[in-house]
Amino acid sequence: MTKLILRDVEIYKGFLDRAAQTEVLDAVRSVVAAAPLFQPDTPYGKPMSVRMTSAGRYGWFSDRSGYRYAERHPSGTEWPPVPQPVLDIWDTLTRLQRQPDCCLVNFYGEGARMGLHQDRDEADYSWPVVSVSLGDPGLFRVGNQTRGGKTESVWLESGDVVVLAGAARLTYHGVDRIKFGAGSLLPKGGRINLTLRVVD
């Protein structure tokens, strides 16, 4: 494992070995079985290019009413609990007694991307955000505390983990593109990103 710092964002390259990646992937599949992936709309009415679901007390949601957390899946069922292998990543890197309220699961298929954004739908920004990459490489872009200005990018590989905390908590970030089919973890290609957050 190698730790990189990019504009105060902590990037743990190779944090999960192949066996750990497979264990987390199996746990994610159980989440998706209970709460199937869906494709939300942005508040502007345009569908997002990623498909998503969540685990935990809350799930992240978006439609024409705005970005927010919801206590139930769009089907009306409760979100499944955050799997223990995922919580173990949070515990190891944050060493906090408080555990996340939400594990957002984003699936990037061919051509999917995520524009520069801040994670700011949470009540208290003093808690970190932990992001786990599985599957195909994704080009992760890091910006500034405000929109605009120069950015820097790094390829996130399967098993890499990113921590947004402290000065980096409200840094703009996004995924410009993925190398679809370049990874070996997901047989049909694609990238999974897990984002752990304390909501309230």
Print the domain residue range for 164. 2-197
Alpha-carbon Rg for the chain in angstroms? 15
- Tell me the C-alpha to C-alpha distance, in Å, between residue 21 and each of 25, 66, 91, 122, 140: 6, 33, 16, 27, 19
Spatial CA neighbour of 138 closest among 163, 158, 156, 160: 156
> pLDDT tens, 83-107?
999 999 999 999 999 999 999 999 9
**Alpha-carbon distance 117 to 176, whole Å?**
12
Structure token pair of residue 60: 């992240």
> pLDDT tens, 116-127?
999 999 999 999
Number of domains in the chain: 1
Q: Is the overall model pTM greater than 0.75, yes or no?
A: yes
Q: What is the CATH number of the domain that holds 43?
A: 2.60.120.590
**Alpha-carbon distance 61 to 68, whole Å?**
5
Pairing verdict, β 51-56 and 191-197: unpaired
